[in-house]
Amino acid sequence: MITTNPIMLWRFALTLLIGLPAVAVGDCGTGVIPVSRIQGPGDHSPFAGQTVSVEGIITMDARQQGGFRGFYLQQADGETDNDPKTSEALFVYTHRTDGQHGDRVHVSGRVKEFHGLTELTDITSITRCGNGRLPEPVSVTLPWQDGQPPEHLENMWINVAGELTVINHYNLARYGELTLAAEPQTMATEIQEPGPGAQSRHRQQTINRLLLDDGLGARNPRPIPWPGPPLSAGNTVRTGDKVSGLAGILDFRFGAWRLQPQSTPAFSPANPRPPAPERPESATLRVVTLNLGNFFNGDGRGGGFPAARGAQSATQFEQQKARLVAALTAPDPDILAVTEMENDGYDGDSAIAELATALGSHWRYVETSDNTGSDAIRTDLLYRSDRVLVEGSASRLTTTPFDRRGRPPVAQVFRPINSDQALRVVVPHLKSKACRGASGPNRNQDDGQGCYSHSREQATRAIIRWTNILPNPNSLSGTMITGDLNAYARETPLQLLEAAGFINAVRHIHDCTNTSCKHTSYSYQGRSGTLDYSLVSNGLLPQIVGARTWSINSDEPRALGYKGPVTVPTGQPWRSSDHNPVITDLSL
C-alpha cells in the first residue's frame, strides 16, 4: 500500500533510523517535543511548568522497591539535535508501571526542575510504542570538559573512559555511594596559602567529581554495594583505589553529579593497607601522635554508657579500645601524644588510666596539677617507663585564650634512659573549623580556612610565647609541638609556627607536589590534608631521623569504624580513629 499520510511517512522514516517496528499504538508519534528542546542549553528547562509530550527509549528503570520512583528516557540516536549544549534525556517521575527497560514510550506530563534535576512529573499517560534500540553511551572523561558541570549530559547514558580514583567513602554505608575523581584531591590550603587562589582550586575540585551511586533512593543499603563483592573488613575500598568499567546514567541528585550504574564496575586496589613503619636503626626515641576520636570510658567500671561522646555502649567501647591499642602499640612507640581524651581526671577510673592499663604494664601517663580546661576532652601524654624518664613536672598553658575556652596544651620534658639528651613535648588541640557559634572574626572569612581561624591564630601565638618562657633544663635538645592543630599546612597557625622556628618534620622529609601530598592525616569531603603535626625547633632538626603518617584510618571507610555496620576483627588497627597517627623518630 502506498500512502501520502505525513504521520505514516514520519513513522516509516523513524523505523529506518532506529530499527523500530512501524506500530500504531495510542498517541505514538503525535504532538511530541524533542527532549533536547525541553532540556535547553542552560541549567534550567525553558519549558518548566508546562505540560508536554515526549518520546524516547527507557534507558534505566528505577521504579523498583527502594528506587527513585521513575525511569530515565533518552531520545534515540537518530533523533538527536547534534547540539553539544543540550541533553537528550529526561527523568520521568511516576508511580505508573507502563513500559520497561528498552521500550520506546510516549509520555505526557509537566516539566519540573527538582533541585537541579530536569524531570517530567504529574504524568497523565505512558504509551508503549514498541521495542527500542538503546542509544550508544556517550564516552566521557574527567576532569569535565572546559572545567564546567556536565549539564549537557544530564540523565544520559554515559561511559567513563579509563580509570577514576576513589576520593571519598563517607556515605558508603549510609547511601551506597563513593566519590570519584580523575586523581586524588588535596585540601587547597594544604599546598597553597589561604585566599582567592585556594578558593578557586576548591571550587574546581568540587566540579570535577562523579559520585558512584547504587541506583537506589533508600538509606542504609545492605549489603553495602561497593567494592562489589560487598564491603567487609577484608574487602575494603580505600581512598586512592581505582575504578574502571563505569557505565550508566549521569544523574544529578542532592547537589552532586552521579552515575547510576548499568553494570558492576571493576575495583583495583591502588592504596594497600600499610604495615606499621619500622623504626630506623639510628632512632633512640619514637613519638607517636594520634587523635583518639573521643575516648570516653563511661564510669570507668564497665558502665555509664552511653557516654557524653564516643562509644554509646560498653561493647562499642571495648571495640574502640582494642583498635586504639592495636594502632598505638604496633609502631612500638616510647612516647604517645594524644588528643580527644576524656577530661575526667587521673584516678583509677579515668579514661587515661584505662588506656594506660590496656597498653601494657610499662606504660605510665603524665599528670598535671594545672586546670585541664572546661572542655569535655583534653590533650595528654603517655610514656614507656622502661625506656623513658620524665624530667621535672608537666604543665599546661592556662592563660589567655585558654583561660576562657579551649583545651589547654600540655608540656613535659622526657629523656631516653640511655641518653643524656632530653626532649620537650608540647601537645595542643586547637579549635575545629566547624562554624557552630562562630561570630565576629571567627566567622568564615571565605579564604579557605573555615571558621574560628582567628581563635586558632590567637591560640598559636600564645603557645609560641609559652614555649619561649618554659624552663630549659641543661639536657634539653629542643622542643616538639605535636598534636591536632585543626589547620592545614599553609594556613595561619603553621605560618606563625614556621616563623617562630618550628619545622614541619613530615613535610621536611616528604615534601608535597603542586597538586598532592603523600603523607596526610585527615580526609574531609573527599580532600586529604594534614591536621596533626610534628613540629620541631630548629636545633632539633638534625636529630630527626624519620617522620611520617601511617595511613590506617582516614583512607578507610567510616563503615569500618567501631560504630559502623561492618565488624572488624579484634586487634586490628583499621579505622581505629578518623585521623592517621603521626610517627616521629629521633636520635638523642
Residue 405 pLDDT level (bands cut at 50, 70, 90): confident
Q: What percent of the chain has pLDDT over 70?
A: 96
Q: What percent of the chain has pLDDT over 90?
A: 90
Per residue in 234-272, pLDDT (tens digit) is: 999 999 999 999 999 999 999 999 999 999 999 999 999
Distance from C-alpha of 34 to C-alpha of 49, rounded to nearest angstrom: 16
Contact call for residues 60 and 72 (beta carbons, < 8 A): yes
Distance from C-alpha of 271 to C-alpha of 456, rounded to nearest angstrom: 33
Residue 27 pLDDT level (bands cut at 50, 70, 90): confident
pLDDT at 12 over 60: no
pLDDT at 196 over 60: yes
What pLDDT score was predicted for residue 431?
97
Please report, for residues 134, 336, 356, 415, the alpha-carbon distance to residue 309 in angstroms, rounded to integers and kept in the order given: 53, 22, 20, 34
Distance from C-alpha of 46 to C-alpha of 60, rounded to nearest angstrom: 25
Residue 371 pLDDT level (bands cut at 50, 70, 90): confident
Residue 229 pLDDT level (bands cut at 50, 70, 90): confident
What pLDDT score was predicted for residue 241?
98
Peptide bond into 184 cis (omega under 30): no
Query: What are the grid coordinates assigned to 98, written together?
Result: 507502563
Closest CA to 430 of 398, 452, 399: 452
pLDDT at 26 over 90: no
Cα distance between the two ends of the chain = 100
Please report, for residues 47, 86, 151, 214, 449, the alpha-carbon distance to residue 154 in angstroms, rounded to integers and kept in the order given: 16, 9, 5, 17, 33
Which residues on adjacent β-strands are paired with residue 338?
A: 290, 380
Residue 404 pLDDT level (bands cut at 50, 70, 90): confident
Report pTM. 0.92
Residue 305 pLDDT level (bands cut at 50, 70, 90): very high
pLDDT at 17 over 50: no
Give the residue, 499 or 19, on which the prediction is more confident: 499
Closest CA to 73 of 114, 120, 127, 115: 120
Mean pLDDT, the chain, rounded, equals 94
Contacts of 245 (CB under 8 A, 6+ apart): 263, 264, 265, 266
Q: Which helix (H) or strand (E) element contains residue 16?
A: helix 6-18
- Three-state DSSP state, 202: helix
Residue 54 pLDDT level (bands cut at 50, 70, 90): very high
Region 56-63 average pLDDT = 97
pLDDT at 214 over 50: yes
What pLDDT score was predicted for residue 5?
36
What pLDDT score was predicted for residue 13?
34
Region 466-483 average pLDDT = 96
Give the helix, strand, coil percentages of the chain, each rounded to 5.
Answer: 20, 30, 50
Per residue in 513-560, pLDDT (tens digit) is: 888 899 999 999 999 999 999 999 999 999 999 999 999 999 999 999
Contact call for residues 509 and 548 (beta carbons, < 8 A): yes
Region 227-236 average pLDDT = 91
Determine the distance from the C-alpha atom of residue 270 to the mean position of all C-alpha atoms in its chain, rounded to a whole number: 17
